[in-house]
Structure 1
Amino acid sequence: MPRATVGDTSLTRSYIPKVSQTPGISPSIAHFYKPIENRCIHEGRVVDQLYYTSDHIDRCFSNIRLNCLYEINEPIVPRFILDFYSQVTLQKDDFGVILISFMIQNEFITLSLQQFGQILRIPFTGQAVFTNEWDLGALAYSQDTEGPYHTDLPTPEEIHQFLQFQRTDSNRKIKNKNVILSSNQVLTKELRQDLKRWNELIYENVFGLGGHRDHLPACLAHILYCILAEQQYNLAYFFVKRIESARATPKAHLPYGMFLTRLFRHVIELYPHLDNGIYDVVERVMRPLALRQTRRPRSDRGKARHSVSSTSAHHNLGSSSHQGDDDEDDGASRASTPSPTTYLNSLKPLDYQPYEVPTSSEQNDDLLFERQTELLNQSQEIHKEVRGGFKSFGKALRGVFGKKKK
């Protein structure tokens, strides 16, 4: 099966909008967007049914609600992704609950980790840890030591026991130097054959880092352990921690393109006035993550990757001409698919109490802003600029798109 991450992410440059070059935009806002719009977006992969029904993937992943990783099939909203990453910040409230705060045009939005997980339809409880390290020993040093996300993580020995690594050679050359691997540094080729497919699926829709695919990141080994041990895994925790890490890393890809489309729909549902014509949807020609029946010649492998067409049609999400396409992955039209509000009110992904979506007035409550004091103090000046500048900014954009339509 061809690896799509490295090649496909570079193609996203063909549709990422250059917001900083918008006529009339203020220098402050342009400076705000420029570091983000020059990166690539890791969209994620659509997974073919033949793939996830092989090697017990469907049964084992579904046991701990990780079937969300192969049931994702969304278009991309690149401008929303830029808006989100340009200001997203994590903080904790007095109870240690993670809050995800971001600004979309002139609306300041804060979600708890549980709300974020429910909107993206991913698990938000269970074992929680994040690290970019390779060594399994890094897990114990990376977890929360107290609070709602502290969990009893497996030891490296327990992970070894469940994954049954088969070390073939402890010697490895790194940067032209011979290195002896420790028992906690696992190579991908040391996985069982069936787990190699599990690893590829998780890598494509959770990590998508590109490069260094020859070794197993500690967090990926931990996810494989949770699947085999049937331990709930807090995917929302990993997502937001990786989002924070990617934003802080100047050249990192912006992850979770398809998943963030679900957040976009939620935001537009709560704040309809934000759907003002600046958000275009990119429909991609998807090459799904599928079983490779025969080994392709090296020169042909790149052709098997899904491609992003620079001439793809751009549609406004929610327009009548696009409703059927948006929910095609769910096997139903928008008319038969519940709205984000209805969906979230009825959702119990991990047998928890139903979540009530906060209304627009609740989002602007004094109580909400008290919890955001630290974040607001940090970004007060830029928020003033954004609040004052987005009105003229929006007019300029509508003028540009209006000319294109003519």
Structure 2
Amino acid sequence: MPRATSTDISLTKSYIPKVSKIPGISPTIAKFYKSIENRNIHEGRVVDQAYYKSNNIERLFTNIRFDCLFKINEPIVPRFILDFYSQVTVQTDEYGYLVISFMIQHEFITLTLAQFGQILKIPYNGQAVFTNEWDLGSLEYSQETEGPYSTDLPTPDDIRRLLELERVMVDRTIKSQTVTLTPNQILTKELSPDMKQWEELIRENVFGLGGHRDHLPACLAHMLYCVVAEEQYNLAYFFVKRIECARANPTANLPYGMFLTRLYRHIMEVYPHLDNGIYDIVDRVMRPLALKQTRRPRSDRGKARHSVSSSSSHHHGTSSHQHDDDDDDVETSRASTPSPTTYLNSLDPLNYQNYEMPSPSEQTDETLFERQTTLLNQTQEMHKEMRGGFKSFGKALKGVFSKKKK
């Protein structure tokens, strides 16, 4: 299978707009964007039908709603990605629910995890955990032990047993030193040939590029476990945690380029006045995953272009609405999908905060920057008011301090 490489992802720099270099932009706003626009975007990969119809991928992935990973095929909106990542914050309300907030132009937008999952068309119920570690033991230390995302995770022994792993080597060279692997450190070569295809598909649309592809991150091993065990997995939780992690790392690639196009479309449907022409949709080269036996010559790879005009891509796509009930049967997710307008109307209303805009003479780049920062800092208080105010304040404090003790 022709894998994506760091060379592929570095090509995204050719279309990332340099907002900081716009003539007349203030140093304050230029600095605001510069750290983001110098990063690469992890677009994701388009998956060939022949690939996901092989080795039970379609059946097993659909059972846990991971079919979203081989159905994604979107253009990229670079400026929207920059605006999103330059201001996104992830917080927890007093009930322990994740809240993702960001500002697009002058609109401050707050989404619950369920809303975020609905918009991106990814599962937002099931097992939830996030860690960047390799060792399977890190899952236990990273899981939430109380609240809405409390999860009864499988043990490392459960994961190794269900994945039918067989140790192929004990020692590994890391930075010129020989290191003895623990039983909880899984190498990619220990997976069966079928499972290696599952791993590649999940890695390239959930984890991105970079890192050591010869070993299996703990969270990826857990996802494979859920595929085999047909356990629901909260992909929205993982996405939001990884977005938060990438935002905090000044050198990390910006993940989920194709998935964020769905968020872009949603925002432009709800706030059509924001669709003012600055968000160009990139007609870019997309390299699909392909079966090894149908692998094209190296010179021909990546030449097929994914062409979507700005107008058609804005309204393109269908959705599969998920309900909060984990017991929805599979047939519900396979039902005919509604139109984009019906889908948007089926979501809970977006939460956002209005404010009076200053007059043109008062509105400078500096005042806008200060207003954005203030609004982001007010997110937590806004959600306390929305969900019951000081009524649950004592419960919120208890939850905060219990997390700090972990």
Q: TM-score range, shorter-chain basis?
A: 0.7 to 0.9
Identity over aligned residues, as a percent?
Answer: 66
Query: Counterpart of 2:23?
Result: 23
How big is each residue's C-alpha offset from its partner over 1:166-192, in whole Å with a ceiling of 9 and x where there is no partner? 111111111111111000000000001
| Matched ranges for 1:89-128 at <5 A | 89-128=89-128
1:384 aligned onto 2:371 = yes
Query: Counterpart of 1:53?
Result: 53
How big is each residue's C-alpha offset from its partner over 1:68-92, in whole Å with a ceiling of 9 and x where there is no partner? 0000000000000000000100001
Against the structure 1 CA distance between its residues 16 and 166, is the aligned structure 2 distance closer, same or farther, given a 3 Å change threshold? same
Take 1:111 and 1:68, find their aligned partners in 2: how far apart are those partners?
20
- Contact 1:118–1:344 (CA under 8 A) maintained in structure 2: no
Query: Counterpart of 1:215?
Result: 215
Take 1:289 and 1:195, find their aligned partners in 2: how far apart are those partners?
15
How big is each residue's C-alpha offset from its partner over 1:69-123, in whole Å with a ceiling of 9 and x where there is no partner? 0000000000000000001000011111100000111111000000000000000
- Contact 1:106–1:386 (CA under 8 A) maintained in structure 2: no
Take 2:273 and 2:174, find their aligned partners in 1: how far apart are those partners?
53
- Contact 1:51–1:289 (CA under 8 A) maintained in structure 2: yes
- Contact 1:135–1:185 (CA under 8 A) maintained in structure 2: yes
Secondary structure at 1:178's aligned position in 2? strand
1:304 pairs with 301, 305, 324, which one? 301
Against the structure 1 CA distance between its residues 295 and 179, is the aligned structure 2 distance closer, same or farther, given a 3 Å change threshold? farther
1:356 aligned onto 2:345 = no
Shift of 1:326: 6.1
Against the structure 1 CA distance between its residues 145 and 380, is the aligned structure 2 distance closer, same or farther, given a 3 Å change threshold? farther
Shift of 1:288: 0.9
How big is each residue's C-alpha offset from its partner over 1:345-365, in whole Å with a ceiling of 9 and x where there is no partner? 44xxxxxxxx4233xxx5227
Against the structure 1 CA distance between its residues 198 and 130, is the aligned structure 2 distance closer, same or farther, given a 3 Å change threshold? same
Against the structure 1 CA distance between its residues 19 and 174, is the aligned structure 2 distance closer, same or farther, given a 3 Å change threshold? same
TM-score, structure 1 normalization = 0.80
- Contact 2:318–2:338 (CA under 8 A) maintained in structure 1: no
Query: Counterpart of 1:159?
Result: 159
1:288 aligned onto 2:266 = no
Secondary structure at 1:66's aligned position in 2? coil
Secondary structure at 2:198's aligned position in 1? helix
Take 2:307 and 2:373, find their aligned partners in 1: how far apart are those partners?
29
- Contact 1:2–1:305 (CA under 8 A) maintained in structure 2: no
Take 2:168 and 2:308, find their aligned partners in 1: how far apart are those partners?
50
Against the structure 1 CA distance between its residues 120 and 5, is the aligned structure 2 distance closer, same or farther, given a 3 Å change threshold? farther
How big is each residue's C-alpha offset from its partner over 1:236-291, in whole Å with a ceiling of 9 and x where there is no partner? 00000000111111111000000000000111111111111100000123221111
Take 1:306 and 1:214, find their aligned partners in 2: how far apart are those partners?
27
Take 2:303 and 2:190, find their aligned partners in 1: how far apart are those partners?
28
Amino acid in the other structure paired with 2:301: A
Query: Counterpart of 1:376?
Result: none
Shift of 1:302: 7.8
Shift of 1:294: 6.4
Q: Which moved more, 1:202-211 or 1:117-126?
A: 202-211
1:78 aligned onto 2:78 = yes
Amino acid in the other structure paired with 1:356: D
Take 2:147 and 2:317, find their aligned partners in 1: how far apart are those partners?
40
Take 1:340 and 1:263, find their aligned partners in 2: how far apart are those partners?
12
Shift of 1:2: 1.5
Secondary structure at 1:70's aligned position in 2? helix
Shift of 1:344: 4.0
Against the structure 1 CA distance between its residues 380 and 132, is the aligned structure 2 distance closer, same or farther, given a 3 Å change threshold? farther
Q: Which runs of 5+ in 2 are unaligned?
A: 320-335, 356-365, 375-406
| Matched ranges for 1:170-209 at <5 A | 170-209=170-209
How big is each residue's C-alpha offset from its partner over 1:190-227, in whole Å with a ceiling of 9 and x where there is no partner? 00110000000000100013241000000000000001
Query: Counterpart of 1:232?
Result: 232
Secondary structure at 1:277's aligned position in 2? coil
How many residues get paired? 348
Secondary structure at 2:42's aligned position in 1? coil
1:67 aligned onto 2:67 = yes
Take 1:116 and 1:266, find their aligned partners in 2: how far apart are those partners?
10
Query: Counterpart of 1:248?
Result: 248
TM-score, structure 2 normalization = 0.80
Query: Counterpart of 1:134?
Result: 134
Q: Which runs of 5+ in 1 are unaligned?
A: 331-335, 347-354, 367-378, 388-406
Take 2:337 and 2:185, find their aligned partners in 1: how far apart are those partners?
45
Take 1:128 and 1:208, find their aligned partners in 2: how far apart are those partners?
19
Amino acid in the other structure paired with 1:107: E
